[in-house]
Structure 1
Amino acid sequence: MCAAVYVLSTVTGYVLTSALLLKCPTLLHRRKRESFFSRHISHRGGAGENLENTMAAFQHAVDLGTDMLELDCHLTKDEQVVVSHDAHLRRSTGMNAYISDVTYAELPPYLCKLGVTFQRECYCEGGEDKRIPLLRDVFEAFPNTPVNIDIKVNNDTLIKKVSELVIKYDRENLTVWGNASNQIVKKCYKENPRIPVLFSFPRVLQLLGLFYTGLLPFIPLKEQFLEIPMPSIITKLKDPSRMTKSQRLLTWLADTLLMRKALFDHLTARGVQVYIWVLNDEEDFQRAFDLGATGVMTDFPTKLKDFIERNGIAKPQ
């Protein structure tokens, strides 16, 4: 009986302590310093309004007042850091080659019309700017705009060169980098721990495990950005009638586990920003902000800007 009472009191004490620290994490952890704060994030510069990852797209988003540009980086054969999503050039340019196999001078322009990945049956037709830019072009053009860099391949030289560019343009306090791959994120952090990193996919799974077991309030976190999809948008990207029952169940389960206000509130209280991607409908914007997400990543920066202004969604003071 005494042993049972002891176990019960111990468990109760742990649960209460965990609940307290979940609500008040700064009792145990120093809040991470936020050098910038992003509500409005333009995915690939706003792939639904301009050709993705072009200077025209980035300029349009910055002119609108976006808080952050999201982009992707690869390395050319002559070791130039270029801004492009795909490793292979077929989809974006029609050229049957990998970026890593051609020099920067040999890169063709983007096609006139590109599909918008996160909007079903949607295409963007570009203007005059179809050039694949260099990362340094973006840094030079927008010295005060935060940039979210997806390191697309596990390449030590790419990681080193991106870090060198960030340092050269004095952007360690205006940049976040990483990838879904834990290997890439570890290499980024090792190369330059002064540039904030995002949670890799394995670390997101670990984060959820810690959250649901009540251990998260006790564990330090090196990451400063949680960037996750809203699983429910899959029903907008695929025809729901063609989804199997297991696919629908998996989507519902992932959405239920990931989209948790208590988790987002705890992380933001610790100085970890939470970005939800890639949302292109107002109902999804609203849900993300209602759940406590710091910011929303979108292909349609004008639509998101109008939504934020119309609903008075301000940055916290």
Structure 2
Amino acid sequence: MCAAVYVLSTVTGYVLTSALLLKCPNLLHRKRRGHFLSRHISHRGGAGENLENTMAAFQHAVDLGTDMLELDCHLTKDEQVVVSHDANLHRSTGINANISDMVYNELPLYRCNLDVTFQRACICAGGEDKRIPLLSDVFEAFPNTPVNIDIKVNNDTLIKKVSELVVKYDRENLTVWGNASNKIVKKCYKENPRIPVLFSFPRVLQLLGLFYSGLLPFVPLKEQFLEIPMPSIITKLKDPDRLTRSQRFITWLADTLLMRKALFQHLTARGIQVYIWVLNDEEDFQRAFELGATGVMTDFPTRLKDFMDRNGISKPQ
């Protein structure tokens, strides 16, 4: 009897302590002080309004007042860091070649029309700018704009070169980098721990395990940004009638587990920003901000700006 009472009181104490620290994490962890706060994030510069990852897209987003540019990096044969999502150029340029096999000056121009990955049956028609830019071009043109860098391949030279550029342009306080791969994120952190990193996919799974077990309030976290999809948008990207029952269940389960207000509130209280991608509809913007997300990543920066203006969602100070 005494043993049972002891176990019950111990478990009760743990649950109450965990609940308290979930709400008030600064009792155990010092809140991270970030150098920037991003609510409006332009995915690939705004792939629904200009050709993705072009200087024209980035300029348009910055002119609108975006808080952050999201982009992707690869390395050319002559070790130039270029801004491009795909390793192979076929989708974006029509040329079936890998970026890593070509020197920068040989890279072809983008197609006139590109599909918008996160908007079903949507094509973006580009203007005059079809050039694949260098990362240094972006840094030079937008010295005060935070940039979110997806390191697309597990390449030590690419990681080193990106770090060198970040340091050269004095952007360690204006840059976040990472990848879904934990190996890449570990290499990024090892190369330059002064540049904040994103949660990798395995670390997101660990984060959820800690959250649902009640252990999260007790565990230190090195990452400063959680960047996750809103799983429910898959029903807008694919024909709902073609989704199988198992696909619907998995989508529902992933959405239920990931989209948790208590989790987002706990992380933001610890100074960890939460970004949800890639949202292109007003109902999804609304849901993300109601859940407590720090920021929304979109292909349509004008659409998101108009939504924020109408709903009084303030820009970061």
- For residue 149 of structure 1, what is the aligned residue in structure 2? 149
> 3-state DSSP class of the match of 2:227?
strand
Structure 1 position 261, deviation (Å): 0.0
Matches within 5 A, 1:165-314: 165-314=165-314
Alpha carbons 2:38, 2:316 under 8 Å: kept: no
Distance in 2 between residues matched to 1:239 and 1:194, nearest whole Å: 43
**Cα separation, partners in 2 of 1:316 and 1:136, compared to 1, 3 Å:** closer
Matches within 5 A, 1:68-79: 68-79=68-79
Structure 1 position 191, deviation (Å): 0.2
Structure 1 position 316, deviation (Å): 6.1
Q: Does 1:111 align with 2:111?
A: yes
> 3-state DSSP class of the match of 2:82?
strand
> 3-state DSSP class of the match of 2:293?
coil
Instruction: List per-residue Cα deviations over 1:220-271 (Å, max 9, x = no partner).
Output: 0000000000000000000000000000000000000000000000000000
Matches within 5 A, 1:78-117: 78-117=78-117
- For residue 32 of structure 1, what is the aligned residue in structure 2? 32
Alpha carbons 2:56, 2:129 under 8 Å: kept: yes
Q: Which runs of 5+ in 2 are unaligned?
A: none
Q: Which amino acid aligns with 1:238?
A: K
Distance in 2 between residues matched to 1:149 and 1:233, nearest whole Å: 23
Distance in 1 between residues matched to 2:156 and 2:285, nearest whole Å: 36
Distance in 2 between residues matched to 1:163 and 1:29, nearest whole Å: 28
**Cα separation, partners in 2 of 1:47 and 1:315, compared to 1, 3 Å:** same
Q: Which amino acid aligns with 1:149?
A: I
- For residue 22 of structure 2, what is the aligned residue in structure 1? 22
- TM-score scaled by structure 1? 0.99
Structure 1 position 314, deviation (Å): 1.5
CA RMSD after TM alignment: 0.6
> 3-state DSSP class of the match of 2:206?
helix
Q: Which amino acid aligns with 2:146?
A: P
Q: Which amino acid aligns with 1:266?
A: H
> 3-state DSSP class of the match of 1:235?
helix
Structure 1 position 315, deviation (Å): 4.4
> 3-state DSSP class of the match of 1:144?
coil
Q: Which amino acid aligns with 1:210?
A: L
Structure 1 position 148, deviation (Å): 0.1
Aligned length: 317
Distance in 2 between residues matched to 1:274 and 1:102, nearest whole Å: 36
- TM-score scaled by structure 2? 0.99
- For residue 4 of structure 1, what is the aligned residue in structure 2? 4
Q: Which amino acid aligns with 1:81?
A: V
